[in-house]
């Protein structure tokens, strides 16, 4: 589980960019890291919910 308080998005972007063939300048790295930090903060509550192994997505959305 990613902890938004301890996750370092700048370090992740600096390491992952070259690993996937991206050459990002410092300004772009900073913008990508800021976006990644926001994604982690938004996703953290959903990722914190533990589901049983037998849980499956609904085949049809029923609001």
In a domain, 59, yes or no: no
pLDDT in tens, 5-62: 899 999 999 999 999 998 999 999 999 999 999 999 999 998 888 889 898 887 888 7
Domain total in the chain:
1
Q: Which CA distances in Å does 50 have to 16, 46, 61?
A: 27, 9, 21
Residue 2's pLDDT is what?
A: 75
In a domain, 20, yes or no: yes
Residue 30's pLDDT is what?
A: 96
Calculate the dihedral angle through the C-alpha atoms of 39, 43, 45, 48, rounding to the nearest 10 degrees. Answer: -130
In a domain, 38, yes or no: yes
Three-state secondary structure call for residue 32: helix
Residue 47's pLDDT is what?
A: 86
Print burial letters for 45-62: b (CB count within 10 Å at least 16), e (below 16): eeeeeeeeeeeeeeeeee
Tell me if the pTM is above 0.85.
Answer: no
In a domain, 60, yes or no: no
């Amino acid at each position: 589980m990613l902890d938004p308080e301890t996750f370092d998005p700048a370090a992740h972007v600096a390491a992952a960019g070259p690993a996937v063939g991206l050459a990002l300048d410092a300004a772009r790295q900073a913008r990508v890291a800021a976006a990644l930090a926001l994604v982690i903060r938004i996703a953290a509550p959903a990722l914190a919910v533990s589901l049983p192994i037998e849980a499956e997505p609904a085949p049809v959305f029923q609001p």
